[in-house]
Structure 1
Amino acid sequence: MQNLLSPHFSNIINEAVKISKDMQHNILTIEHIFLASLLDKKASEILQKCSLDIPTTIQNIQNYLLKYIPTQESPNNSIPHQTPALQRVFFNMANHANSANQSQIEIQDFFIFLLLEKQSYSAKILLSLEIDKVRIIEASQEDSQENPLKQYTKNLNILAKNGKIDPIIGREKEILRVSEILCKRKKNNVILIGEAGVGKTAIAEGIALSIVNQTCINALKNFEIHSLDLTSMVAGSKFRGDFEKRLKAVLDAIDKNKNVVLFIDEIHMLIGAGSSGGGNMDAANILKPLLANGSLRCIGATTFQEYKQFCKDKALSRRFMNVEIAEPSIQDCYEILTKIAPLYEKYHNVKYTKEAICACVDLTNYYVTDRYLPDKAIDLLDEAGVSLQDNKKRTIGKKQIQECISKFVNIPKETLNSNEKNLLKNLKKTLKEEIFSQDEAIDAITSVIKINKAGLSSSNKPIGSFLFVGSSGVGKTALSQAIAKALGIAFHRIDMSEYMEAHSISKLIGAPSGYVGFEQGGLLIDLIKKTPHCVLLLDELEKAHQDVFNLFLQVMDNASLSDNLGNKADFKNVILIMTSNAGNQENKALGFHSKQSHKQDSTLKNLLSPEFRGRLDSIIYFNDLGFEDYKNITKKYINQINTQIQDKKISIRIDSQALDFIASKALQPEFGAREIEKIIQKDIKLQLSDIILFQKPKPNTTINIILKNQKIVLKILDSNQT
């Protein structure tokens, strides 16, 4: 309770204790504190605004204490004990402060809650004059307007003293650097520059904690850190000039109290704030004189992107010393989460294991690429605590963290729970079961993926960059989809025939500044930011404009791409696959059918620049498919149909003659395996749909696919035939 009392209210209570002792009372009553508040200038002004006659009331309270409170000698060092009525007032004030998240209890709170003790003499005086809660609040608000620091800023020292600020870990160097700049005679202002979530605000809070704990440098020990609340300053400013008036009042109050440091989060918002155009003075210009003469010590915080707006005002930016706040390392984040985990354990009534804390850092670092540590890891830690509140089990392990991150990034839990090493170990086998007669291509691509996952490839490149070359329908797109499915990641296909013109590049990265749609950003950037772990297929690359090729040079070299808004996409966890059938027709005209000739190289050299080809991990040539491959693909489609009709408790099977017929009919090199799907759609699925809809086969029925008179026919077998 003592920590919640404001310094002003504490002084009044101390004065009330002194009054009680002077009057030889061994108890402390509501009237003692009420009398002390009437004798205090600031507190009495609140009641005076409520039309209370202060001198008369003082006399009445003194007479009451002399007449009704018995005197009793007590040792000089004894403290009068509180009456039950006074204890109830303090109890109600403390409850209200906690529920309203109030950092301090002020004297006006005492006036409000003593009204509940209607039998007390002080309450009777106030109620007789119709002084109620509303009048006291209105009077105290008028009074607070005389203290703009209280109205428009938050005292971080008080928050730190009351335990409202979490401990700051791993930022000792930055806190010391900022503290040293604040103690300079001139240009003692700092601007913290860093990405959102890296801990810029925490630096200011860390300085407040060091001041409260007296671990700061000596020159700052008597300072207070006040955080400017721009929302409160703007709220209710009805007329032009209201905002500037409030800001000027705050700055004047700081100028009178030399031991105040002003912290302005999102400081770039001050540029233009309060100005209505036409050369009017904005908030930034109001700050400049105080910043120039060193009478205002200021800490600002902004991001790299918004700093571009801030540094346009050279007169303002030159008065600040820049301190860049980098994203903490993985090891630092382990330490940060380990130190703050007890706070979340107490709040959520759970227990985090060491593996869970490490998983919060590792999983967010791997899967959440558009945000920064430690903010994203702390968010995951907090959300995991919420998810277990309705569960009897109170311990959070790695499994619960994986379940939460799956909601974070929209990845199936099965992918997170599976062992990635087993996925990679079985990748080649899994792909060869899906894709036929392309063993060389599968071997090449799995080798590059394994090298990357082992950490032996460049850290600033995509997982792999591949060019698939081959005839239409040989499995280039199918292999790309199979890789995404096997690894449990997203698959995105971009048809490069839509990017044949130079201006079409704006679809990928957004329109240039000044053009329609500039603010919307680009398709490619949005795709990768939403699903940073994916297979990205650029289909029919040869149809794209040369400017598009140049765009992907940057992706293959640095694994990053920025749109015209400055939004950056990270391609480090992307498998980039490009497909082409360039030169295929020429090869077939020369008679190369069963296996692709590398004479396609000459066509690719004309199509792709040397620097583009040099950045590819591998150019993979796909073989043409043979008769046996067509039969295997047909079987694969039949299995897929069986999976689709499994819930209807029926199945289909195909005999060898029908299988050979479909494979022979589909064997058209210019179309590839795509022709099989058309035949199955027309000759099998159409008949099967009629059987399901109109014949309503019994459970466990088997439908046989046979060849009759050179046509595919579906025949329902009797139960004894199956």
Structure 2
Amino acid sequence: MLTRELQQSMGTAVDEAVRHRHEFVTLEHLLFALLEDPAAQEVLVNCGADLEELSRALAEYFEKSLEKVPEGAKAMPELTSTFQSTISYAVLQAEGSGQSAVDGGNILASMYQAEQSYAVYLLLQQGVKRIDILNYLSHGISKLDYVGEPMPQGDDEDDEDFLVNPAERKKPLESFTVELVAKAAAGEIDPIVGRMAEIERTIQVLCRRKKNNPLYVGEPGVGKTALAEGLALKISEGNVPDVLIGAKVFALDMGAVLAGTRYRGDFEQRFKAIIHDIKQEENAILFIDEIHTIVGAGAVSGGSMDASNILKPALAAGDLRCIGSTTHAEYKAAFDRDRALARRFQRIDIGEPTIDETYLILQGLKKFYEKHHEVRYGDDALRSASELAGKYINDRFLPDKAIDVIDEVGASIKLMPASRRPKRVSVQMVENTIARMAKIPPKTVVANEKERLKSLREDIKKSIFGQDEAIDRIVDAIQISRAGLGAATKPIGSFLFSGPTGVGKTEVAKQLAEILGVEFMRYDMSEYAEPHTVSRLIGAPPGYVGFDQGGLLTEAIMRTPHAVLVLDEIEKAHPN
């Protein structure tokens, strides 16, 4: 479907051909008519065209270069094949890219299929390339914004699916970033609890003249992104030094920047446009979450120009203030290899909060979860969530896993019938939720396990007979460890069961796992009698096939860290 303005422009092109007594309606007539089309005007002006000069050149072309039919001839001029193919091409590309209508801007981009036409010659003479039109149609990048600077370039080959409606065109910052200070002012960001030292250090780095770029380094879930949001909250409240009053924090969506960048140059032009617009904004700060993703992003095979190298000059000059966040592992993989990038940032290590700090964080956030889930969280439930999440969920970090626990509890209450929904979250609900998240039996997760440990000796002896001395020594070791006298980084107990076949060595371990309510894992070590089989158990060493896959034993312990592990017939295993 053609827009009404484009239909009028096509009619004007025919009228122009009739007025000049031309035998055919050409692409030049269409370009002349598009000079009055609002959408085409917008595109041409932003691509650097001089509309008056174009109009004058086309009028001269009509008078001097096109043959005229004799006066009195009443035959209507015919549409040239180039004219028709340009319209058809624009329609096909619009349908392929999901547009509802074709406007003058789409026609201008399609004209370049007729490379030998005088219309394209005039556009190129004025410096209007097809990539310029596509840049404006797809990303809103205007050549007027790059006066005195080289405009980001890219390959325009087969880029027709970027032809979008004018209403959908946005500035790069609108398309690829989120302004956090505005979100904070609108109440869309949760408050940050604690972390005052880290925020003060961030503000101190931002106030520097050069290399004013903080980099948060910490494990996933410790609150790196929340720190950037907390800074935005402080800026919105005006609780910052004068140099940061009125600052804007733009959070970059790297996924959106990379989306659709199929050809060489697409990513670079987007990223350069973002950096250019950030530099034009007064007192702006760019926040890149998972900043290690910029290393190698947009690079082509054999090339070194990626997003990090585009960013370096602006960071070094102090023209751009950037906050990044990454994990220790990714920092080592990306920044340790690129020392030039690392020296432009000031590293701020973000540690995992303690149980008590996590409890305070939950206290500060509970009102938001109470409002969302329509329940009340008691202090005992929040304390249990902090302690038990830290104790039983070992593959994640505080405070993220504790926040997930209280959110999960609230969500599970919503699943209940309205008549049975409790108004207050209990400790037992927290325990059951953590048991489900940690994949362990509910009876394992209790805030007070004194009673269970007190009766452990008698419970095992009810199932295992004739091994009282061995059971006493096992229970003593467990009780000593659970009393806090054992090392937190070591197993609760490591035992070597020795005895003839059939006396109950494996059965003791099974009953212990069942009573404690944990997983029972058994490995027959007779299968690991050869030296090379150790890699099956603990994984291959670095540089060997399967290094990234882990071993049977290590992966099982990672999945279920709360378990009784039995290495059966260990004397048959290879000494390695």
TM norm structure 1? 0.55
| One-letter identity of the residue aligned with 1:485 | E
Find the residue that maps to 1:508 and give its secondary structure.
helix
Which structure 2 residues correspond to residues 234-633 of structure 1 after superposition, within 5 A?
234-310=258-334, 311-389=336-414, 390=416, 391-416=420-445, 420-547=449-576
| One-letter identity of the residue aligned with 1:259 | N
Q: Which one of the candidate residues 127, 142, 161 is aligned to 2:185?
A: 161
| Distance (Å, rounded) in 2 between the aligned partners of 1:437 and 1:403 | 36
Find the residue that maps to 2:429 and give its secondary structure.
helix
Find the residue that maps to 1:154 and give its secondary structure.
strand
Aligned in 2, Cα 1:445/1:452: closer, same or farther, shift over 3 Å? Answer: same
The answer for the alignment partner of 2:176 in structure 1 is 152
| Distance (Å, rounded) in 2 between the aligned partners of 1:363 and 1:175 | 28
Q: Which has the larger radius of gyration?
A: 1
Indicate conservation of the 8 Å contact 2:388/2:447, yes or no: no
CA-to-partner distance for each residue in 1:467-520, whole Å, 9 max, x for gaps? 111111111111111111111111111222222233222112322333332221
| Distance (Å, rounded) in 2 between the aligned partners of 1:289 and 1:210 | 29
| One-letter identity of the residue aligned with 1:138 | N
| Distance (Å, rounded) in 1 between the aligned partners of 2:572 and 2:208 | 62
Indicate conservation of the 8 Å contact 1:208/1:225, yes or no: yes
The answer for the alignment partner of 2:147 in structure 1 is none
The answer for the alignment partner of 1:141 in structure 2 is 168
TM norm structure 2? 0.69
| Distance (Å, rounded) in 1 between the aligned partners of 2:534 and 2:206 | 48
Shift of 1:424: 1.1
| Distance (Å, rounded) in 2 between the aligned partners of 1:407 and 1:239 | 46
Find the residue that maps to 2:219 and give its secondary structure.
coil
Shift of 1:420: 2.1
| Distance (Å, rounded) in 2 between the aligned partners of 1:508 and 1:518 | 12
| Distance (Å, rounded) in 2 between the aligned partners of 1:275 and 1:417 | 52
Shift of 1:300: 1.0
Structure 2, unpaired ranges of 5+:
1-36, 43-163
Indicate conservation of the 8 Å contact 1:360/1:377, yes or no: yes
Structure 1, unpaired ranges of 5+:
1-46, 53-136, 548-722
| One-letter identity of the residue aligned with 1:167 | P
| Distance (Å, rounded) in 1 between the aligned partners of 2:306 and 2:445 | 51
Find the residue that maps to 1:449 and give its secondary structure.
helix
Indicate conservation of the 8 Å contact 2:440/2:562, yes or no: no
Shift of 1:426: 1.2
| Distance (Å, rounded) in 2 between the aligned partners of 1:418 and 1:49 | 67
Find the residue that maps to 1:263 and give its secondary structure.
strand
Indicate conservation of the 8 Å contact 1:272/1:283, yes or no: yes
Identity %: 48
Which structure 2 residues correspond to residues 54-93 of structure 1 after superposition, within 5 A?
none
The answer for the alignment partner of 2:123 in structure 1 is none
| Distance (Å, rounded) in 1 between the aligned partners of 2:406 and 2:165 | 42
Find the residue that maps to 2:497 and give its secondary structure.
strand
| One-letter identity of the residue aligned with 2:555 | D
The answer for the alignment partner of 2:72 in structure 1 is none
Q: How many residues align?
A: 414
| Distance (Å, rounded) in 2 between the aligned partners of 1:303 and 1:383 | 25
Find the residue that maps to 1:468 and give its secondary structure.
coil
Aligned in 2, Cα 1:161/1:527: closer, same or farther, shift over 3 Å? Answer: same
Indicate conservation of the 8 Å contact 1:193/1:323, yes or no: yes
RMSD across aligned C-alpha pairs, in angstroms?
1.9
Aligned in 2, Cα 1:455/1:209: closer, same or farther, shift over 3 Å? Answer: same
Q: Which has the higher contact order (CA 8 A, sep 6+)?
A: 2
Higher strand share: 1
Structure 1 residue ranges, 4+ long, deviating more than 6 angstroms after superposition = none
Aligned in 2, Cα 1:510/1:224: closer, same or farther, shift over 3 Å? Answer: same
Shift of 1:296: 1.4
| Distance (Å, rounded) in 2 between the aligned partners of 1:321 and 1:459 | 33
| One-letter identity of the residue aligned with 1:463 | I
Indicate conservation of the 8 Å contact 2:384/2:447, yes or no: no
| One-letter identity of the residue aligned with 1:544 | A
| One-letter identity of the residue aligned with 2:411 | V
